[in-house]
Amino acid sequence: MHLWAVRIAYLTHYSELFGANRSLLDLMLEARRRGVVEPHVVLPAEGPFTERLKQEGIPYAVIPFQPWMSERHYEGGPHHRLRQWFGHTRAAWERAKTNARLWPRLRDRLKEWNVQLVHLNSAAVGVAPHLIHARQWPVVWHIRELPERQYLLHIDAGAKAYGRWLRKATRRIAISQAVVEDIHRYAGTDLAIDLIYNGVLHQARYDEERNGPHPPRNGPFTFLLLGLIHPNKGQVEAVEALARVRAEGLDARLVIAGKGRDKELRRRITELGLEHAVDLPGFVQDVWPLLRTSDALLMASRNEAMGRVTVEAMAAALPVVGHASGGTLELVEDGVTGLYYREGTNDLAAAMAALVRDPQRARDMGAAGHAQARERFSVERMTDAVLRVYAEVRP
């Protein structure tokens, strides 16, 4: 494919180096390395991501636009809930007003950079309607989540408005078939969507992981759960399942790495007397030491859009015990690269116990997962596919 360098503005909705931004960084660096893209980034705040952008020499601008999706919590009696509804509605209007006020500033910055294409990195980018309505640049909308099903988010402008703007974008990319189907819920089944799985590692890095030293594992069978601590991510369920595994006399422990809403999680660990068997290291910037010292990954999230950590675990030759929903069904081959569970704590505990009882089977599944991940989820393959989209939409 022959492309001359195109100046692209990438808009992301947060400043942490979590999965969506890590995938974006991989894409930008590989496209720039090939000499076909000059990346620029707009995001709402400084943070770990901007520190990395500085290191890589990628221009960026901080414009504090707001998401147009949010969590809504209701409790108490009808009058309390009505008051909470008004509060949520007022906050949504304030976010919309902020984005309208900031739109000229964003527009002027994109003109100053002389960008030729805009790439939105999430469904939650709140200025998406302004960019699409302006029609000054082709807009590629990269949907990386199932907003309502995965994160329990409320769409400020409503589901119908979200669907309309999805249809009006120049092109849409989904990171899994589960995301494709979710977009169709809002925008209609006739809408064309490019299915492009995230690339997690370069092919050479996959080979390094396969050929690197693998010291023998000693001690209890260690399960690892990575990511945002959130009620829909299954951390409490994983702790309860671990308690049942250990009640069977099996030597197992659990590492839960991430930050978020951990109050209920910590309370449940204490109630079950698992303080000595569950490690909570908080957010971990480099997950590979944890992957290399674990025996299996748990993907307990409901309706995960894809699960970058699932592929990272496969790259590290770990079997995956995953909830049979969302994009996890597209990544893990049941009985070959991991095990599914469907019904909750008891089902999860049974799958975990099966691996603890047969560690050789777990290692065989991990090896099979590594081979599949290298073939399907390389940064090179992802970048090839995204660049084809750019070539077809750029003016």
At 266-280, the pLDDT tens digits run 999 999 999 999 999
Nearest in space to 124 (alpha carbons), one of 44, 173, 62, 68:
68
DSSP secondary structure code for residue 229 in this structure: B
Stretch 110-127: mean pLDDT, rounded?
97
The rounded percent of the chain whose pLDDT value lies above 70 is: 98
Domain boundaries, the chain: 6-199+378-393, 203-376
**Is 214's pLDDT higher than 90?**
no
The CATH number of the structural domain formed by 6-199+378-393 is 3.40.50.2000
Mean pLDDT estimate for the chain: 93
Nearest in space to 287 (alpha carbons), one of 332, 225, 230:
225
pLDDT tens track for 41-59: 999 999 999 999 999 999 9
The CATH number of the structural domain formed by 203-376 is 3.40.50.2000
Q: Which pLDDT value is given to residue 335?
A: 95
Question: E strands, the chain, where?
Answer: 6-11, 37-43, 60-62, 69-70, 117-120, 139-143, 154-155, 171-174, 194-195, 221-226, 252-257, 278-282, 296-299, 320-323, 338-341
343 vs 183, which has greater pLDDT?
A: 183
**Are 278 and 271 a contacting pair, CB within 8 Å?**
no
Element (H, E) at 205: helix 203-211
Q: Which pLDDT value is given to residue 216?
A: 67
Q: Which pLDDT value is given to residue 4?
A: 66
Q: Which pLDDT value is given to residue 2?
A: 43
Stretch 354-367: mean pLDDT, rounded?
96
Q: Is 248 helix (H, G, I), strand (E, B) or coil?
A: coil
**Is 1's pLDDT higher than 80?**
no
Residue 7: C-alpha distances to residues 28, 173, 248, 307, 359 (Å):
11, 19, 58, 29, 50
Sign of CA dihedral 60, 64, 65, 67: positive
> Is residue 28 very low, low, confident or very high in pLDDT (cuts 50, 70, 90)?
very high
Token pair for residue 385? 């596919």
> Is residue 232 very low, low, confident or very high in pLDDT (cuts 50, 70, 90)?
confident
Per-position b or e across 87-105, b if 16+ CB within 10 A of its CB: ebeeebeebbebbeebbee
Cβ neighbours, 10 Å, residue 248:
12
Q: Which of 17-21, 34-38, 111-115, 374-378 has the lowest mean pLDDT?
A: 17-21
DSSP secondary structure code for residue 305 in this structure: S
**Is 6's pLDDT higher than 80?**
yes
Cα separation, 330 vs 275, whole angstroms:
34
Whether the pTM exceeds 0.85: the reply is yes
